[in-house]
Structure 1
Amino acid sequence: MLTGAALAVAVLAAACGSGTDPGAGDRPTVPARPRPNIVVIMADDLGYGDLSSYGGWIETPALDAMAAEGVRFTDFHSSGAVCSPTRAGLLTGRYQQRAGIPNVIYANPDWNRHHGLQPRETTIAERMQAEGYATGIVGKWHLGYGVETNPLRHGFDVFRGYVSGNVDYFSHVDGFGNHDWWDGETNREEPGYVTHLINDHAVAFIEEQAAADGPFFLYVAHEAPHFPYQGPNDAAFRVVGEQIPETREPEQVRRAYREMVEEMDTGIGAIVDTLRRLELAGRTFVFFLSDNGATPAGSNGPLRGFKTSLWEGGHRVPALAWWPGVIGAGTSGAVMTSIDLAATVLDVADILPPAEQPLDGVSLLPHLLGGEAPNERPLFWAYQQARRPVEQLAMRQGAWKLIVNGPDGPDVALFNLDDDLGEMNDLAADEPERVAAMREALDDWRVEVEEGATVQPAPLFAPGAVGP
């Protein structure tokens, strides 16, 4: 349940008045004039045990303040265990398998570099743009390398960032030697440390929209703390035209990782300060999350596993909601996922989802305003690393989690997360009927999301390709 938010409904009523929309059903009323702004901030590979507000090892005062003033989620999940799938799910509000993006879109031209978010997919940016919102993305896209899959083709007015999975934080070169820093559909040089550039462009976008006095949706997709592990005082090592692997000692990685998170936190503080300075804080909904769990460079706290696995450490992530004067402070144990963000953002903006693409997610807004968590529902995950023969599958139903083909585990395992957050006590042998029912539901879901799914351009791998 949501704790510490008892005043939220009263605060909202004072902010909104008593008007209702007879066509809105159970959708809550939010401030209509002026329309709320929305900022979604996503970290990259940030772990459940990294932030100080989660008892982690890195001091993050800006995010701590958001957690203290807003809602901190303790059972929030990314829809994927790696980058591209979660981003596809977040922007469409649907399981990423429906968009044909169940896996990372690699920079390797011999792999699936030609895949991406196809024109038939409708994003929340497109819906908001159609309703008069200014829309911007700064930072990581990772949903296609071609012009036809550029963010400007998916509802964003402004794009400043990179399209691959990661770039050198200084030279902005991807892992295959391509310069990758874009202003819209133009690849251009812009000196600077990536985290600083993302923060600066985010602040500039907010200032520009404040001057225009219109509502905006801003998606801030940080690279930090994804590798290459480079703090702000390190140096570039990637150059155009060459593939140069990162070689760092463990203590160097640990130091750089901490600095990368600290720099991101400082920039998030600048975004919040800008909203306050421009008197936009009370009419701006901000949500922070990570795209998946941490790698071994970070910490997932008490959770088992890391990024690329469907153990909790691969997909249970830190998440914060902040909206001063509207959302009360508290902690939520509601089981939610990143595909719920699309429904939530559209709900905040009072915009209907696309009729032709029903959302899989549900809106968090009623819960954030002091209501009960959404009704218990099954949640599903699927992930298969490129060219690996075995697909991992997982299902969550209440406290129970079934995982199939988990790395370093049995073929099928069952856990009660209320009693065993670390997924150490496999109860599959004690609960055969529950295992059978969940496995059947998981298999049915797998078939359902693939029916009518977007087909990506073929082939997935070029003949003879050996690695991403």
Structure 2
Amino acid sequence: MKKAIALLLGVALCLPVAATAQQPVKKRPNFVILLADDWGFSDVGAFGGEMATPNLDALAANGVRFSNFHVAGSCSPTRAMLQTGVINHRAGLGNMPETIPPEHLGRPGYETHLNNRVVTIGDLLRAQGYRTYLTGKWHLGHTPDTLPTARGYDRALALSQSGADNFENKPNLLLYDRADWTEDGKPAHLPERFYSSTLIVDRMIGYIDGGRASGKPFLASINFLANHIPVQASDADIAAYKGRYDAGWTALREARRAGAIAKGVMPAGVHMVTMGTTKDWSAITPKEREQRAGAMAVYAAMATAMDREVGRLIAHLKASGEYENTVFVFLSDNGAEATDPMEMTWMSRWNARFLYDQSIAQQGRPGSLTAIGAGFASAASSPLRGYKFTANEGGLRVPLILAWPGNPAFQKNRVAGTFAHVTDIVPTLLALAGAPPQEGHFAGRTVEPVIGSDLTPALRDPAAAVHDPDRPFGYELSGNAVLFKGDYKLVKNLPPYGDGRWRLYDIVRDPGETTDLSGQEQARYAAMQADYAAFAKANGVLPMPEGYTAPKQIFENAFHTLLVPRLLAAAPYLAGIAALFAALIMWVRRRRKAGAQA
């Protein structure tokens, strides 16, 4: 009986309470979503990393860390699921605009923007009386009807693309011709010089303060560019990590593994493997080691700069009296980024050198295009296999911290090992707001229902499971595919990340995916393949064209998006130059002929 009473009290503490003559209304919580870009599983100090992230570590100490939490292998599919609670193939992001093959573009589920069959957490909470704000990377549409203020947000400073420069209003010149920043659906007026993490938090603080007089709770969706390419930070932050990574990625993998075990987010004795695409540190030249260690120092500096901005936001909420009644959600959109323009095609290398200062001394500074590459990306996700784009745990398993500092029913400084997924965030926030679940209807129309589960049981008891272990959970992006079921994971990766063959792992006992169980567990292997086939059919997953690889498609799409229009725009000038050159040749020939006749 006592346990039942305690459970009821715990539930009551997590939900708004109706007013009575004797009892005042309990204020609904604010929500702050802190979305990092391309952070590996063990990047945060509370997950075993060496980088300075004191403010995120403090949130972890005030909440629950989820050690078995999964997203998509790349940016916008994760963001679509985070915003809607719906699988990416039903939300319109079956693939990204940067990686989609032309054959798939526009097919159902492959619109490459949030479609009209889904509603966002902004829509849902605004309907419940919340103020709704978004700043930073959106990457879910760039037309007026697909920008944040058309999808549930009252105010928004949004970047519609995968990334941009962090110091000025300039795009990643290898992918885009301009940085598409908008504010409230119109072209944004950015300062001449800024730093992206500071800008994003500044604008959010302004939005929150501007609406405080309404008395309404708020949703603040803060979407950092850190640590997406180009990796950039201030000279002072970079200097703080000088020499820190000189021992290389092999040593860092081992240190991160030990750190993750010590923090309780990985089991003791966890085995660790790395991707075959990474070289051994000792096999590269001293100059390469200097460049790579320097790039990783910039990566760490960028993370620390982002963490400092998180701390500034928290300090502001404390000063305004909002901190205790705010639910914080921190996660990354996928694992660390392994792509490096300097290790891709000759054209990418030439463009990077032509458009940017790629000297070692300039790494991370304005005018540079810095990337950590596959070696350090693998280490950033240690002890997991893989990184961004892959369907291995290093691509899909990322840190998640949920904290409500002022709620005594929420556990503090605990680790939840239960399987969790990015589609769980929407139903969790709705439950904490005391709002009804979204079950396929909104504002009088039929929409895609939320498929995620409410994580609040794990916030009260980190040992609680939130997903039915017998329920299969599928995923696919760019041909890399997964079927989760209980403790097991069926996975395949297309080249260059794998050989296209299905493998089976127990990701609870073997999160590093070191032992393929497909031969030992043949019945389970076959059953999970059938489950995946059913998922793919039900969700309209399209087979990839023959020879498809995501890196190659990025290059081809950028080629058609950038180079072809530039050539067409230059065609009249090129034609004029050709005509002048032809006229010059004709004149020279006539002069020679006249001279010969004389």
- Give the TM-score, by structure 2 length: 0.66
Per-residue Cα deviation, 1:236-278 (whole angstroms, up to 9, x for no partner): xxxxxxxxxxx99323321221111001101111122222222
Aligned equivalent of 1:259: 301
Give, in whole Å, the separation in 1 of the partners of 2:201 and 2:17.
Answer: 38
Give, in whole Å, the separation in 2 of the partners of 1:16 and 1:136.
Answer: 22
> Which residue among 144, 148, 152 is the counterpart of 2:145?
148
Aligned-residue offset at 1:369: 2.5
- Looking at secondary structure, tell me which structure has more helix per residue: 2
Q: In the alignment, does 2:50 pair up with 1:57?
A: yes
Aligned equivalent of 1:448: 538
Secondary structure of the residue aligned to 1:149 is coil
Q: Structure 1 residues 202 and 18, CA, compared in 2 at 3 Å: closer, same or farther?
A: closer
> Which residue among 336, 341, 366 is the counterpart of 2:457?
366
Which AA in structure 1 matches 2:144? V
Give, in whole Å, the separation in 1 of the partners of 2:455 and 2:508.
Answer: 22
Q: Structure 1 residues 307 and 107, CA, compared in 2 at 3 Å: closer, same or farther?
A: closer
Q: Structure 1 residues 126 and 233, CA, compared in 2 at 3 Å: closer, same or farther?
A: same
Aligned equivalent of 2:91: 99
Total equivalences in the alignment: 422
Give, in whole Å, the separation in 2 of the partners of 1:450 and 1:315.
Answer: 21
Aligned equivalent of 2:437: 353
Aligned equivalent of 2:156: 159
Give, in whole Å, the separation in 1 of the partners of 2:7 and 2:406.
Answer: 8
Secondary structure of the residue aligned to 2:58 is helix
Give, in whole Å, the separation in 2 of the partners of 1:466 and 1:15.
Answer: 50
Aligned equivalent of 1:4: none
Give, in whole Å, the separation in 1 of the partners of 2:100 and 2:518.
Answer: 40
Q: In the alignment, does 2:27 pair up with 1:34?
A: yes
Secondary structure of the residue aligned to 2:388 is coil
Q: In the alignment, does 2:431 pair up with 1:341?
A: no
Give, in whole Å, the separation in 2 of the partners of 1:428 and 1:109.
Answer: 31
Secondary structure of the residue aligned to 1:287 is strand
Q: Structure 1 residues 13 and 350, CA, compared in 2 at 3 Å: closer, same or farther?
A: closer
> Which residue among 393, 398, 411 is the counterpart of 1:317?
398
Give, in whole Å, the separation in 1 of the partners of 2:436 and 2:28.
Answer: 14
Aligned-residue offset at 1:161: 2.8
Give, in whole Å, the separation in 2 of the partners of 1:270 and 1:44.
Answer: 19
Q: Structure 1 residues 249 and 467, CA, compared in 2 at 3 Å: closer, same or farther?
A: farther
Per-residue Cα deviation, 1:179-211 (whole angstroms, up to 9, x for no partner): 322211111331211111011122222333334
- Is contact 1:395–1:402 with CA below 8 Å preserved after alignment? yes
Q: In the alignment, does 2:273 pair up with 1:273?
A: no
Aligned-residue offset at 1:14: 5.9
Aligned equivalent of 2:222: 220
Moved more, 295-304 or 348-357: 348-357
Secondary structure of the residue aligned to 1:85 is helix
Q: In the alignment, does 2:471 pair up with 1:383?
A: no
Give, in whole Å, the separation in 1 of the partners of 2:86 and 2:93.
Answer: 11
Moved more, 301-310 or 398-407: 398-407
Q: Structure 1 residues 424 and 134, CA, compared in 2 at 3 Å: closer, same or farther?
A: same
Which AA in structure 2 matches 1:392? N
Q: In the alignment, does 2:171 pair up with 1:77?
A: no
Q: In the alignment, does 2:171 pair up with 1:174?
A: yes
Q: In the alignment, does 2:501 pair up with 1:411?
A: yes
Aligned equivalent of 1:90: 82
Aligned-residue offset at 1:148: 1.8
Aligned equivalent of 1:304: 385
Aligned-residue offset at 1:230: 1.0
Q: Structure 1 residues 273 and 108, CA, compared in 2 at 3 Å: closer, same or farther?
A: same
Q: In the alignment, does 2:486 pair up with 1:398?
A: yes
Aligned-residue offset at 1:220: 0.5
- Is contact 1:203–1:270 with CA below 8 Å preserved after alignment? no
Q: Structure 1 residues 107 and 162, CA, compared in 2 at 3 Å: closer, same or farther?
A: farther
Aligned-residue offset at 1:142: 0.0
Moved more, 307-316 or 247-256: 247-256
Give, in whole Å, the separation in 2 of the partners of 1:138 and 1:68.
Answer: 26
- Show structure 2 runs of 5+ residues with no match: 1-5, 237-287, 339-371, 542-554, 559-598
- Is contact 1:56–1:301 with CA below 8 Å preserved after alignment? no
Give, in whole Å, the separation in 2 of the partners of 1:12 and 1:121.
Answer: 29
Moved more, 256-265 or 205-214: 205-214
Q: Structure 1 residues 142 and 126, CA, compared in 2 at 3 Å: closer, same or farther?
A: same
Which AA in structure 1 matches 2:385? R
> Which residue among 527, 535, 546 is the counterpart of 1:437?
527
Give, in whole Å, the separation in 2 of the partners of 1:218 and 1:12.
Answer: 24
Per-residue Cα deviation, 1:2-35 (whole angstroms, up to 9, x for no partner): xxxxx99856646869769xxxxxxxxxx96322
Per-residue Cα deviation, 1:349-373 (whole angstroms, up to 9, x for no partner): 1222332322110111232133722
- Is contact 1:43–1:290 with CA below 8 Å preserved after alignment? yes
Moved more, 345-354 or 163-172: 345-354
- Give the TM-score, by structure 1 length: 0.83
Aligned equivalent of 2:416: 332
Q: Structure 1 residues 255 and 348, CA, compared in 2 at 3 Å: closer, same or farther?
A: same
**Identity within the alignment, %:** 31
Give, in whole Å, the separation in 2 of the partners of 1:274 and 1:290.
Answer: 23
Aligned equivalent of 1:188: 188
- Is contact 2:15–2:434 with CA below 8 Å preserved after alignment? no
Secondary structure of the residue aligned to 2:454 is coil
Q: Structure 1 residues 277 and 307, CA, compared in 2 at 3 Å: closer, same or farther?
A: same
Aligned-residue offset at 1:105: 2.5
Give, in whole Å, the separation in 1 of the partners of 2:201 and 2:453.
Answer: 29
- Is contact 1:8–1:370 with CA below 8 Å preserved after alignment? no
Per-residue Cα deviation, 1:309-334 (whole angstroms, up to 9, x for no partner): 00000010001011013222111111
Give, in whole Å, the separation in 2 of the partners of 1:369 and 1:274.
Answer: 27
- Is contact 1:74–1:318 with CA below 8 Å preserved after alignment? yes
Give, in whole Å, the separation in 2 of the partners of 1:142 and 1:209.
Answer: 25
Give, in whole Å, the separation in 1 of the partners of 2:488 and 2:534.
Answer: 18
Give, in whole Å, the separation in 2 of the partners of 1:315 and 1:277.
Answer: 36
Aligned equivalent of 1:286: 328
